[in-house]
Amino acid sequence: MIDAAGKLIAKADRIVAFSGAGLSAESGIPTFRDSHAVSGALWTKYDPMTLASPEGFAADPQAVIAWYNWRRRTIAAAQPNPAHQALAAASRNSGLVNVTQNVDDLLHRAGAQHVIQLHGSIAVDRCHGQCGHYEAIDLANPPDLRPCVRCGEPMRPGVVWFGESLPADAWTAAERACSQCDVLLVVGTSAAVYPAAGLINYAKSHGSRIIIVNTQPSEASRLADFELIGPAGEIVPQLFDR
Ligand code: OAD
């Protein structure tokens, strides 16, 4: 199966990698929904509406910032794994486009080009008001809750929360890439969160073949031409090793 999927990739002109939290799991970054996760997936331990929604932020902004800063320090201490490295090399060598739901910076640190972050970036803060102010932050030493220097509204992580829209430019770019690709390589996502997960069906309906890499079946299994069950860090490099 890996060999046949690798041949499909080798023949493809346009490849999009659509990734989720499982891509970074072997780097030590917890997933959200994952019955195989040894230390428990995040949404089995924490309430997403408390920690990842505008309502949760309004109710207890200190708790939300503290939780994101814990995740930021975890990401700062992590390193890209062989799956990030393989996707980054393919982006540099053959123009693979990375469409990711991940808010971490591990694809960037692996040297990837063409990274579209559908759910924003945890490496920036943005104003929770309407002024549009952004600040890059140090993941290892993230700032506490503070007001926006421009308008005084609270600063918050530059990620998409439940109930919020995806960044329009990222979504437009992702749809364009998924409508034109020959192969969509789906890595480490439960494919449970929309609209992002809808890109898999969208790519298939535009003629793309679908290769899935996951440690277990997912919501997208029925769409797969090849479903490769196993860790991304072991399987993804093999797909590009020809
Ligand atoms: P999930 O946590 O929902 O799914 C992670 C998937 O990765 C699961 O299907 C696991 O089986 C798989 N997995 C775990 N370890 C793996 C490994 N080493 N190799 C391959 N696969 C592995 O993460 P996402 O699908 O990314 O939203 O979740 C989507 C969104 O839900 C996230 O972007 C986040 C969350 O709420 C926001 O932050 C807005």
What domains lie within the chain, and their CATH numbers?
2-239 (3.40.50.1220)
> What pLDDT shows up at residue 38?
75
Name the closest-CA residue to atom 29, ligand 1. 193
pLDDT tens for the 242 residues of the chain, in order:
999 999 999 999 999 999 999 999 999 999 998 888 777 888 888 888 999 999 999 999 999 999 999 999 999 999 999 999 999 999 999 999 999 999 999 999 999 998 999 999 999 999 999 999 999 999 999 999 999 999 999 999 999 999 999 999 999 999 999 999 999 999 999 999 999 999 999 999 999 999 999 999 999 999 999 999 999 999 999 999 87
Catalytic residues: 119
Residue found under tokens 């969160």:
193
Q: Which is it for the CA torsion 130, 135, 138, 144, positive or negative?
A: negative
What's the gap in Å between 55 CA and the centre of ligand 1? 23
In ligand 1, which atom is closest to the CA atom of 162?
39
> What pLDDT shows up at residue 42?
84
Contacts with 104 (C-beta within 8 Å, 6 or more apart), sequence order: 24, 29, 75, 78, 122, 123
Q: Distance between CA 191 and CA 13 in Å, rounded?
A: 25
Binding-site residues, ligand 1, Cβ < 6 A: 20-22, 25-26, 31-34, 36, 41, 48, 52, 101, 103, 119, 159-160, 188-190, 192-193, 213-216, 218, 231-232
What's the gap in Å between 19 CA and the centre of ligand 1? 8
What's the gap in Å between 150 CA and the centre of ligand 1? 35
**Burial of 115 from C-beta contacts in 10 A (0-12 / 13-18 / 19+):** buried
What's the gap in Å between 203 CA and the centre of ligand 1? 19
Nearest residue to 158 via CA among 186, 139, 178 = 139
Q: Distance between CA 184 and CA 203 in Å, rounded?
A: 7
**Which DSSP string do the residues of 164-195 spell out, in sequence order?**
SPPPHHHHHHHHHHHHH-SEEEEES----STT
In ligand 1, which atom is closest to the CA atom of 232?
19
Enumerate the β-bridge partners of residue 18. 99, 186
Q: Distance between CA 165 and CA 160 in Å, rounded?
A: 7
